[in-house]
Structure 1
Amino acid sequence: MATERNIRTNFGFYPPENNGAAWGATLEGLERVLREAFPEPRLKYRKSGIHGMTVLDYEVQLSPEVWVYGTAAMPDPNYAYIALTDVTVDEAAAFAVWLRDSFVPAPHLVRFASSLAMENGEEAPRQLPASGGQAEIRDTMRSYLAPFDD
């Protein structure tokens, strides 16, 4: 029986193309929702060395032994991203379900991309499924990464 490799990569989550303001989000709003949703999140604001904008670094516990780390930026109403660093597809899918169902204003407003795919020429983020649970999102993400998982 074949088994899926549990590769680690970075994932980014974005509003719809040509509608960067669709989330209507702020870093302060994300901080509040992370504090409400996850036990003892680790949150820190800092100035990004790359773009000079304020970002929110976060670490949250998805399950008893699974923590994910990431960074979010929302410097103006027309630009937003939330990233996860060095996660498995299962971890990214669990976070994506939370993001879609608890943070963004409507489930069809989330796109995702992976550093593994982008490093291999995939330029366009994909649409996150607007319905379904962690298994459906995991399968979508694995399908997206399959051409690049040697």
Structure 2
Amino acid sequence: MSAERNIRTNFAFYPPEDDGGGAWQATLEALERALRQAFPEPTVEYRNSAIHGMTVLDFEIELAPDVWIEGTAAMPKPDYAYITLTDVTANEAAVFATWLRDSFAPAPQLVRFASSLAMANGAETPWPLPAEGDTAEIEDVLRRHLDSFDTP
């Protein structure tokens, strides 16, 4: 029996490009409020991104006891947004993605994702996050995504 590799990578979550311009219709302030409601004592900080020249929200949240993840979000206009998690496993990303899909995005079909592993291999098209299913099912999709680009 082979053990699954617990790859750490960055995951980015985006609204779809072709949803009629609606995207998530969110702001960084709305995301901050949602993070504060969902996760105990998150750390949040606004800063100006030198790379993108826009205000971003950096956050650190506790997904489970002693399991912390870091992320950055940008929502420069109503029809565009991204949230990036840094150095996470598929399991950690799946917990966040489930929350994002079920509690923040205005509809479950409005979340796509990509990984830095995929981008490093030339893949630029985000995959759709399943519109239904629990965290284990989302983790399976994230692992399949990573497996399609991982070459041990």
TM-score range normalised by the length of the shorter chain: over 0.9
Contact kept, 8 Å, 2:15 with 2:81, in 1: the verdict is: yes
Give 1:121 shift: 1.4
Residues 10-29 of structure 1: CA distance to partner in whole angstroms, max 9, x if unpaired? 00000012345321100000
Q: How does the TM-score come out when normalised to structure 1?
A: 0.97
Secondary structure of the residue that 2:109 maps to in structure 1? Answer: coil
Unaligned runs of 5+ in 1: none
Q: Distance in 2 between matches of 1:78 and 1:33?
A: 19
Name the counterpart of 2:23. Answer: 22
When the two structures are aligned, how many residues end up with a matched partner?
150
Secondary structure of the residue that 2:117 maps to in structure 1? Answer: helix
Secondary structure of the residue that 1:2 maps to in structure 2? Answer: coil
Name the counterpart of 2:82. Answer: 81
Give 1:147 shift: 2.4
Letter in 2 for 1:104: A
Name the counterpart of 2:44. Answer: 43
Identity over the aligned pairs, expressed in percent?
Answer: 69
Name the counterpart of 2:106. Answer: 105
What CA RMSD, in Å, does the superposition of the two structures yield over aligned residues?
A: 0.9
Secondary structure of the residue that 1:99 maps to in structure 2? Answer: helix
Letter in 2 for 1:44: E
Q: Distance in 1 between matches of 2:89 and 2:112?
A: 17
Q: Distance in 1 between matches of 2:78 and 2:131?
A: 22
Residues 54-86 of structure 1: CA distance to partner in whole angstroms, max 9, x if unpaired? 000000000001001000000111210011000
Q: How does the TM-score come out when normalised to structure 2?
A: 0.96
Unaligned runs of 5+ in 2: none
